[in-house]
Amino acid sequence: MSKFVSFIILIFLVLSNQLYTYAEENQPLEIKSEAAVLLDSETGAVLYNKNGEERLFPASLTKIATAIYAIENGNIEDVVTVSARAVNEEGTRVYLEEGEKVLLKQLIQGMLINSGNDAAVAIAEHIDGSVEKFAENINKYLINEIGVRNSHFTNPNGLFNEQHYTTALDLALITNYAKKNPLFSEIFGTKELNWSGESWQTTLLTHHRLLKGEIPFEGITGGKTGFVNESKHTLATTAENENIKLTAIVLKADTNKVTYNDTENLIEYGLKSFHHRVIKQNETFTVNEKEYYPKKDTIVTEHINGSEQNITNQGMLEVVNDGQVTQSIPLVVKEPKNLPVEVEKPLSNEQSSINILYGIIVFAFAGLFLGVRKRIAKRQ
């Protein structure tokens, strides 16, 4: 075999291996849960979406919404008097007693860390007077403050109701919004907490196995679990590294193990595959002979192998990763600079005299022409 042929075969094998490796890295994620969404917590870029707008039952992930609603609409130092309705709420609880007085902050901790359904009802009644009024108000809050589109809650804890539903995308938006609040973020990331109640003295441990460290995984910053028969297993998780912060939501998994496997796959994909780039305010983009620019320096989420950028006819900058639009940024059209208006200069004395002379000559010729016409007319 000639050296040239050997060289060609070697190059072919190297290229084939590179193509195979790249294809492996870009294979679609194998997510078994019914719905899943991965968001960049800072830019809101949708990095993965499987049935993200399908209406499903959230179970206890509802408590993420209840927590941020209570933090923003209540006083965390308020003393809450626990009602009989709260005490008798079914499901997971922190064993409150009727008439017990508990700080609102402690109730939020018990609801998020130990998933206390009784604490959730106590919160709702304190903030809005009743669970029914709470449901009415939180639905307005989620639409007006967070911008959800496919959610409707009937209670503060996620116990099953056919009219109590949301989507993976809405839950990701709610979690992203909530994480910007320092108190929520602190409680959402708490692994254990000493609990001192009238009937229960204990140490609360988060139910989230990745956050707790029971399943080793670097970078987990917060989480909430959920389960009722109708919703199956649900999981909300936040994570970060030096490049990016992520929010992962998985809904309707057949088993607890599936929720964690799917979440690990989502977060590993996000942490390894994406980073940020800043588009400067003075950076311009041209489409249909018009120039556009961002209103301010804007962070975009890009794939480490690079991302496409498209400008729509409406002046939207679309960031495309793996063939999907992951982020849309409104741009401002750049107005053309006003051209200087030429101001007529005043005529000099010399130019004025010349113009007067030209006027006299023209007037004389006009008079001569009219006189000649009259003589010709008389002769005829």
**Residue for token pair 């057949």:** 254
**Residue for token pair 């950028």:** 309
The residues near 18 (Cβ < 8 Å, ≥ 6 apart) are: none
Q: Kindly provide the residue ranges of all beta strands, DSSP E only, lying in 85-242, ordered along the sequence.
A: 101-103, 192-196, 201-205, 220-228, 232-240
Start-to-end Cα distance in the chain:
115
| SS3 assignment, position 151 | coil
Angle, to 10 degrees, between the axis of helix 131-141 and the axis of helix 62-73?
90
| SS3 assignment, position 31 | coil
- Based on the residue annotation, tell me whether 2 is a catalytic residue of this protein: no
> How many CB atoms sit inside 10 A of residue 103's CB?
14
Q: How far apart are the C-alpha atoms of 31 and 240, rounded to whole Å?
A: 20
Angle, to 10 degrees, between the axis of helix 131-141 and the axis of helix 117-128?
80
**Is the CB of residue 110 less than 8 Å from the CB of residue 195?**
yes
Q: The dihedral of CA 185, 191, 193, 197: what is its sign?
A: positive
The token pair at 354 is 């010349």
Q: How far apart are the C-alpha atoms of 31 and 47, rounded to whole Å?
A: 14
- Based on the residue annotation, tell me whether 115 is a catalytic residue of this protein: yes
Q: How far apart are the C-alpha atoms of 266 and 246, rounded to whole Å?
A: 9
> How many CB atoms sit inside 10 A of residue 111's CB?
31
- From the list 50, 63, 179, 245, the catalytic residue is 63
- Based on the residue annotation, tell me whether 63 is a catalytic residue of this protein: yes
**Is the CB of residue 236 less than 8 Å from the CB of residue 37?**
no
- From the list 33, 83, 115, 151, the catalytic residue is 115
**Is the CB of residue 122 less than 8 Å from the CB of residue 86?**
yes
Instruction: Determine how β-strand 316-321 pairs with β-strand 308-311.
Output: antiparallel
- From the list 41, 60, 83, 307, the catalytic residue is 60
Select from 280, 279, 210, 272 the least CA-distant residue to 243: 272
Residues annotated as catalytic are: 60, 63, 115
